[in-house]
Amino acid sequence: MTRLSRFPFPLAADTFTYTTNVEPARVPVATAAGEWGAGIVEPDDEYRTEVAERAAVVARDPSRVQLLPHMRPAAWDALLTLLRELAAQCPAHMALVEGPQCLWRNDLLGVEQRFTVGDDESLPGGPLGFLNGQLQEDVVLLDQREDALWVDAGAVAFAADWSLAFVTGMRFAEVHRPVVARVHQAGVLTRAEQFLLRLPPGAEYRRLNWTLSVDRRLDLSTEVREEWEPQRAALAAAAPAELGRRVHLRVELQHLIRLGASGAVLFLIRTHLLSLDELAAVPAWRRRVGRVLAALPDDVADYKGLSGVRPGVVRWCLEP
């Protein structure tokens, strides 16, 4: 499948309102260009490139992997859960043999790794560091205690203007405090946390989140903001041809899974990027993006970092 055909286009109407927008996972969604959503993890033709980039990000900045001591069982639970998913999606290229000593084989990466569950030293980088080098997804693990969720572990190479190292150990509500006031006033985040707190073991849900970004840059973490923020600001005065080539609709396909063995909530984030030029292959998508951006409240545009580039993108999408 092409990047366009598997793209999870996130805008269902000409206006955008923050909602929990949670739905059951593993349900295929047909779009004007193709289909997405049949699986939890779906390696594609960009798998090797993105996994290599994830590994490079963590090699440069090991703080992108965080694991509080009490979350080690959850980290191993996540590892086994996601390696099983990968093997089920790509049986011709990947396999997990479980036992006293497990064997993971990934022919796409040339990896054959034996490990003992619970022994961090048996895997390069421990369970989350190793997982970072096998998945296209970011991984966050939420602990549940004191009637709240806590961000206590993860492997996040492709954050969008946030930092796993900064939020590790924070409550879910604290992490989302910077969100625009209208979202708090509407109770969206409170409902989202209550929904997650009630997830039974094995439950699997998903949601989409979106913004605009520059070029095909996946790592937009706050750790490297000085690299990407000037590029985004400079596009406010860019010519239409440059906007079409460099501005991307950035969509996060987020999966929310209650792990059975540890009880932790697994939060997966797969980032998809589609340039405006690519988007224009589906005229209805091009018009929809323009109309949504034109109608977006200023506070929401500011929060998403879209204010500078928004006028040019709206013109690009809506003018003949």
pLDDT digits 0-9 by tens, 184-201: 566 778 888 898 999 999
User: Looking at residue 183, what is its pLDDT?
Assistant: 61
Within 10 Å of residue 202's Cβ, how many Cβ atoms? 9
Q: Using alpha carbons, select from 115, 114, 94 the residue that is nearest to residue 105.
A: 94
Residue found by looking up tokens 């040339």 in the block:
110
Q: How far apart (Å, rounded) are the C-alpha atoms in residues 85 and 107?
A: 15
Query: Which segments of 161-293 are extended strands (E)?
Result: 170-171, 204-214, 247-258, 265-275
Inter-CA distances, 285 with 196, 238, 273, Å: 31, 22, 14
Q: Using alpha carbons, select from 166, 113, 109, 158 the residue that is nearest to residue 137.
A: 158
User: Looking at residue 174, what is its pLDDT?
Assistant: 87
The string of pLDDT tens digits covering residues 87-144 is: 999 999 999 999 999 999 999 999 999 999 999 999 999 999 999 999 999 999 999 9
Q: Which residues of the chain have pLDDT under 70?
A: 1, 178-186
User: Looking at residue 284, what is its pLDDT?
Assistant: 97
As annotated, the active-site residues are 207
